[in-house]
Structure 1
Amino acid sequence: MATKEEERLKGLVANLENELKTKESKNSMLEAEVRSLQRRMLRRDNEILKQERELHKLRSVLQQASTLMAAGEDHLLSSIQGDFGNGTNAKKQGVSGQSLSASSALSIPKHSKDFRSRTVIKEAIMENDFLKNLSAIQVRELVDAMSEKTVPKGCYVIREGENGSHLYVSGEGEYDVIKDGKILGRLGVGKAFGELAILYNCKRTASIKAVTDGKLWALERSAFQKIMMSSGIKKMENQVNFLKSVPLLSTFPTPVLAKISDVLEVEHFKKGDFIVREGTSGDTFYIISEGEVTVTKRNNEKDEEIRKLTKGEYFGEQALLKTDVRTASVVATSDTLDCLTLDRESFFQLVGDLNELRDKTYKDITNGKAEAKDRQVVEVNKEFAEVTLDDLEVIATLGVGGFGRVELVKCLKKPSTAFALKCLKKQHIVETQQQEHVYSEKNILLSCKHNFITRLYKTFKDKKYIYMLMEASLGGELWTILRDRGWFEDSTTRFYIACVVSAFDYLHSHGIIYRDLKPENLLLDKEGYIKMVDFGFSKNVDGGRKTWTFCGTPEYVAPEIILNKGHDRAVDFWSLGILMYELLAGTPPFTASDPMKVYNIILRGFDQIEPPRHINRTAVTLMKRFCRENPSERIGYQKDGINDIKKHRWFQGFDWEGLESRSLTPPIKPAVKGPSDASNFDKYPRDEAVPQDETSGWDKDF
């Protein structure tokens, strides 16, 4: 009996083992199928990411196209603006206006006009996508400064290929828009055109020809720049003077007050509006910039008038110290009331706790101007003092541009070391009025010593060129790597952004703003670390001061540069957000067919941009904090400075000490065979053109 039971159990075990083997075999097949499906899903996910990137580009193009279709006649005007790039794979080019000193902004000529002409000009300005962003005061000054110009039938107002420097408004007559000999359309009365030329020097890409006898109103670039600069300086001075009159703020130095003035917001009220109600909590301080208010206090169920306040007077200042229970009501008594307002949170984020600040000494700020001058006294590296231009031999070309070329060279006296020699055409520098920028680049680079900033060793000159002998970074341009890969992963982008943050921290602590951040200006050294190059737009700006020159790369410029409001180091934080977006998405967030369209899209704000889906929310949050419209609200610019960026969730766990000590492993390790290896750079043809001699002597200190 037991034997039969054993045999039955043995048979059952054998069956179960066979069944188990069959199921294991099936499981193996299913696992293989799952792995195959996972690989297919991964390939599809990658394909979806590529398609999303293409869709993102198409959305940008469609947005531009829909703008053109909605604009009707206005699309003709864009034909006049400068040529712009050669598609998404073209390198982005920097642009720069002429430097303007504060003293030259005093005299702005005015030209009398009748009522109809003033109305036509103002309406044309307010219909223009760019000019409509100007303040009412600036528009009024623009109208005053425009001069009359008569145009006989058949004459050209603008010629294709010529440099432009005027904005025009058509007052009378009709005008053909002509490009490559073809008539694109016709403009009538009340159209503003050529506005890019008042920002910086650019070539016209279409012609405007009078079909009938006509009249135009013209504004020259320098007059526009003077209007924008003088109105900006006047506004800042008025606000600083308002702040100085407040006892709580009166001990602060001007640079701190200038920074506070940046966060003041204008609020409008009408007669009868309560600005403050007695008994309510408040955290906002008010300065009256226009109009009148009455201060009342409740007594026996009645409101008794205590006093009236007018332009330049203030109320609610205790709210900057603590949440303030209002002890009186404030009511607008004039037909209109404009107040400059400042809330405690904005004040705290920008400059810190008021109680602590009042007891602080500001020697570092008050001496800033002297320190900035000291920084300009720089010496050539003694190691290279004996090197001459004749000692250098060209190995290869690393880059080309309108300015000239960058050559990889070796030195006969130091055969084991290669250098980058930047060769700038002197004639081109003079024609584009960039002498000041070239000197600034020389002085700043000679004074900079930082891990992620390229070194300048010595400068030379001859009749045709200015030469800068620089450290060679042979890992290639970040732009080229980005172009070939499409976009970077989060971790790769994080490493490169951190390198730039470190460089900005160094530059800003020395009073230097960079103003031309983009992948084209970031090289990799042989280890894969970033080297920031091209300091042609960099400038020393003392704390609390602003500069007014329009410069940068169109896709990267901040709104305050476009609107000529005056700018400082906050523009570098804006550009950090744009760089972060381009590295993650493969293209900048603001792109269009001509620079004026790019500027108009930028002025609409970063929030209207829809990032590709593969960019995570934390990254988007940081980009939005970099690209706040108000410069004083940008991360990195506020009281905790660069530390706010380092503490952001997107950088959580990042080894900042390892970055500074260069002990981190970079995400991309370029292949560099030796000091003469230029294989990581694109190939460039030999430059056959010989520039003209330039012997005016502006470069005597090179």
Structure 2
Amino acid sequence: MGQTDSKPAEDGAAPAQEAAPVQAEGLARLQAITGAKAVETKIKPRGPKAAATDVEFIKNSLGNLLLFGRLDIRAQLKIAEHMWERSVTAGEILIQEGEVGLAASELYVVKTGKFEVLERRKGVNMRVNVKESGDVFGEVSLLYNCPRTATVAATTDAVVWVLERDVFRKYVQEAAEGEVGQIELFLNSVPLLSQLSREAKLRLVDAFVEEYIGAGTVIIREGDPGDKFYIVKSGEALVTQGGKEVNRLFKADFFGERALLSNEPRGATVSAVQDTVCLTLDRDTFVEILGPYDKIMQEVKSDTAAQTRMALLKPRGSAAAAARPRSDIRIRVRGPGGNTRLVVASGHLDEVQELAKGGTKLGASGNGAEVEGLLLVEAALLGEGAFSRVSEVTEVTTNRTFALKRMNKTAALQCPEHVYCEQHISKNTANAFCIRQYASFKDPHHLYFLFDLMQGGDLMDVLVAEAKIIKFPVPQQGGMRQGCLAPKVKMWQGMEEGMAKFYVASIVLALEYLHDSGIVYRDLKPENVLIDGQGFAKLGDFGFAKQIDAGGRTYTFCGTPGYVAPENVLGRGYNHSVDWWTLGVLMYVLLTARQPFSSPKTHDPMEVMRRIVDERWPVKYPPYMSPAGKDLIMRLLERKPAKRIGMLQGRAADIKNHKWFADFDWAALAARRMEPPRRPQESDMSKRKAELEDSHRADPEVPPMTAEEARECEATFKDF
């Protein structure tokens, strides 16, 4: 689907000239992104480490960056200390537009010299910027493997300091883990909180707010009602009762913990002796996240309290995995011009035997015995991903149709852990609102998954069909033209709220199931919500899904630009909270056919990231959106994950009970007895099928693979 080059109007307004809904800003199909596989043997720096006298200059140069400026001073210094110098001669190209991989994994700070920044526009290299001492370029490379968007060339002899992505992410993660560990230790020392489970303590960690208190300031006053708990992070505080000094508080000391139970009067006055930093938690937030204290203690003491968790991913190379029998799967693949060829793959027998009991005789094995297996015949392409394609196939014994996902092995080498997580999680997922995997297998060049066939396309197809330009009265500020007299303005509208409610509710049920199983999905977007033949929605594509232990976090940057949560962008660790954020983005897109962080329009991914993490940047809502719908989106797009709806005490139930879902029959949806608001139509898929066929006509039958890549693929996917 295309994307217009015209700048979208503010507050939901449409371009002055009407266009097809497919051209709406928010309707472009977006590719997911992720951090590449870590390089085990790092290339040695091609220059000396930054001198100690340069570290402060480097730190100040990096200070305004989104990803660097929010780190504590120790992490900033450690990162600056691990940068190294590189000399660049006049005329040398330091960055080439379009580069990927290792060439696009470094950020640069100019020490001396000058650089010009060139962008190719209509076949001409245009100078768009100049970089001099102290300037920085390449920030997005610290997040993920993104093609370089411009060429940077030296106009004089120059020297730069180089920061590698792996180094940056390592020290960001270390800093985040250290901070979480420190706060957890603080909480363990508070008798009132020491009995909480580790999971509960870690949920509180994200809820604390740093407060900077100037020297001489009264923090709490004796006799005042209390509603906030404090932990001293740095500095010194004085405790007095009746005007008499009774104590001094330093790092890791705490006070005011009784405020988490009630608003009883403060028993003492606490004042900052010097500039002091405290971690604070108010009672309302405590109750929102964990519930009333007495209820928490009942749950802690309960012998029956337990949570069902899926088995962790079985270690690759284990004896159990190696001993599992395998069976042949043959696939008749359609090639260019309608030609077909037979591909022989190998999969685990216990995964495929139920599909065709009795088996299909596929010929003699090496020992002369008849081999049983599956024969799949490819019919048509259904979709594609970053390094995969999905086609419709038929199993010849039962004449049953499936969706076959095929991944290029060499491309999958970038992130093999994602592949193994998808194999494990989608195989063990059994829920009416999640796609089901029936088998996984491989041949020398590809990896395969056999899934439910979703004949209705995806939620993006539905949105494209429903999106339209409307005329809506917009009152003029300070003017007399209000109500029905207000001028009507053209603006984009997505699907009707009743229809969106059906799909959002289906996703809530899917995420609730996954989260209860300890799984974070991490790539929710319309393209990954699939529609079956009846019109029901299922969550599909578990390529970024991951199992997380109770209270645990993960640090890999992954997701789709515009949808990623603030805690994912900042690289400081996240959990299931990111899925509720992306649900808020998806709900906004469904209702408006636009992205919430896309206006004013920008092609700079870092600008979108800045808007996502900046609490001062407001999301703009079109006037036709209902107050309840706006309220739910705002609560899902809460930038502090601990306060985000879905992460509070009620978890998913808080979303189900939100006023936007008033009178919604959750039981009927869960039982699939609710009538879907839209039945799939052949037109939803036919055009895209044709486009996919055209785009893949020139694909080679067998993807190119070097001998070295073949060896690495064999070793990496040995247990697939």
Q: Structure 1 length as normaliser, TM-score? A: 0.82
Is contact 1:488–1:583 with CA below 8 Å preserved after alignment? yes
Residue 277 and residue 439 in structure 1: after superposition, are their counterparts in 2 closer, same or farther (change >3 A)?
same
Aligned position for 2:704: 692
User: Relative to structure 2, which stretch is displaced further, 195-204 or 128-137?
Assistant: 128-137
Q: Which residue of 2 aligns with 1:161?
A: 98
CA distance in 1, matches of 2:519, 2:15: 34
Cα gap change, 1:58/1:603 in structure 2, threshold over 3 Å: closer, same or farther?
farther
Residue matched to 1:170: 110
The one-letter amino acid of 2:452's match is E
Does the residue aligned with 1:235 lie in a helix, a strand or coil? helix
2:266 aligned with 1:326: yes
Deviation at 1:54, TM superposition (A): 5.5
- Alignment pair present for 1:503 and 2:510: yes
Structure 2 partner of 1:636: 646
Residue 533 (1) aligns with residue 540 (2): yes
Q: Deviations over 1:584-639 (max 9, x none)?
A: 00012112313222111212248601111111111011001011111010111111
Show the counterpart of 2:476: none
Query: How far 1:98 sits from its partner (Å)?
Result: 3.4
Aligned residues: 612
Distance 1:191 1:394, change over 3 A: same
Residue 287 in structure 1 maps to residue 287 in structure 2: no
Q: How far does residue 112 in structure 1 lie from its aligned partner after superposition?
A: 4.4
Unaligned stretches of 5+ residues in structure 1: 1-50, 62-84
CA change 1:510–1:638 in 2 (3 A) is: same
Shift of 1:380: 2.2
Give me the CA root mean square deviation: 3.0
After superposing the two structures, state which structure 1 stretch, 477-486 or 615-624, moved more.
477-486
- Higher mean C-alpha deviation, range 649-658 or range 208-217: 208-217
Q: CA offsets, 1:261-292, max 9 Å, x none? A: 11111111122111111111111111111111
Change in Cα spacing, 1:618 to 1:375, as seen in structure 2 (3 Å) is farther
Q: Is residue 344 of structure 1 aligned with residue 344 of structure 2?
A: no
For residues 85-116 of structure 1, the C-alpha deviation after alignment (integer angstroms, 9 at most, x for no partner) is 99654311100013679xx9xxxx9944254x
**What SS does structure 2 have at the residue aligned with 1:202?**
coil
Alignment of structure 1 residues 419-568 onto 2, 5 Å: 419-430=402-413, 433-486=414-467, 487-568=494-575
| 157, 167, 177: which one aligns with 1:233 | 177
Residue 356, structure 1, aligned to residue 306, structure 2: no
Counterpart of 2:94 in 1: which secondary structure? strand
Which amino acid in structure 1 is aligned with residue 94 of structure 2?
V
Residue equivalent to 2:618: 608
Distance 1:170 1:327 in 2: 56
Q: Is the 8 A contact 2:27 2:593 kept in 1?
A: no
Once the two structures are superposed, residues 21-67 of structure 1 have per-residue CA deviations (whole angstroms, 9 ceiling, x without a partner) of: xxxxxxxxxxxxxxxxxxxxxxxxxxxxxx99865467999xxxxxx
Is 1:701 aligned with 2:644? no
Matches within 5 A, 1:40-439: 55-56=10-11, 88-98=26-36, 111-115=49-53, 117-163=54-100, 164-180=104-120, 182-184=125-127, 185-298=129-242, 303-333=243-273, 335-359=274-298, 360-361=300-301, 371-372=311-312, 380=351, 382-384=353-355, 386=359, 391-415=375-399, 417-430=400-413, 433-439=414-420
**CA-to-partner distance for each residue in 1:648-687, whole Å, 9 max, x for gaps?**
10000000000011111111011369xxx96485421244
- Same amino acid, percent of matched pairs: 34
Write the letter of the residue equivalent to 2:660. Answer: W
The verdict on how the C-alpha distance between 1:276 and 1:165 changes in structure 2, with shifts beyond 3 A counting, is: same
Query: 1:3 matched to which residue of 2?
Result: none
CA displacement 1:547-581 (0-9 Å, x = unmatched): 00000001100000100010000000001110110
Q: Which sections of structure 2, spanning at least 5 residues, go unmatched?
A: 1-5, 17-22, 322-349, 361-371, 468-493
Show the counterpart of 1:24.
none
Change (3 A) 1:58 1:650: closer
Task: Give the Cα separation in 1 of the matches to 2:69 and 2:172.
Answer: 14
Q: For the residues of structure 1 that align with 2:287 and 2:427, how far apart are their CA atoms?
A: 37
**Within 2, Cα distance between the matches of 1:419 and 1:574?**
31
The CA deviation at 1:186 is: 2.1
Q: Given residue 704 of structure 2, which amino acid in structure 1 is its aligned partner?
A: Q
State the Cα deviation string for residues 350-378 of structure 1 (Å, max 9, x = none): 11122232342477899888954589999
The amino acid across from 1:167 in the alignment is: L
Contact 1:99 1:549 in 2 (8 A): no
* Alpha-carbon contact 1:99-1:548 (below 8 Å) kept: no
Q: AA paired with 1:147?
A: W
Cα displacement (A) at 1:451 = 0.8
The whole-number CA distance in structure 2 between the counterparts of 1:306 and 1:242 is: 22
Partner-residue secondary structure (3-state), 2:645: coil
State the shift of 1:236 in Å.
Answer: 0.2
8 Å Cα contact 1:389/1:460 also seen in 2: no
The 3 A distance-change label for structure 1 pair 465 and 397 is: same
Structure 1 residue 233, shift from structure 2 partner: 0.2
Task: Give, in angstroms, the shift of residue 390 of structure 1.
Answer: 6.6
Moved more, 394-403 or 172-181: 172-181
How far 1:226 sits from its partner (Å)? 0.5
Range with greater deviation from structure 2 (313-322 or 231-240): 313-322
Aligned to 2:187, the other structure's residue is in SS state helix
The code of the aligned residue for 1:160 comes to E
Distance (whole Å) between structure 1 residues aligned to residue 172 and residue 668 of structure 2: 45
Change (3 A) 1:260 1:610: same
Q: Is the 2:9–2:15 contact (alpha carbons within 8 Å) kept by the matching residues of 1? A: no
Larger Cα Rg: Structure 1 or Structure 2?
A: 1
Distance in 2, matches of 1:611 and 1:678, equals 31
Give, in whole Å, the separation in 1 of the partners of 2:656 and 2:7.
30
Change (3 A) 1:252 1:652: same
In structure 2, the residue corresponding to 1:420 is in which secondary structure?
strand
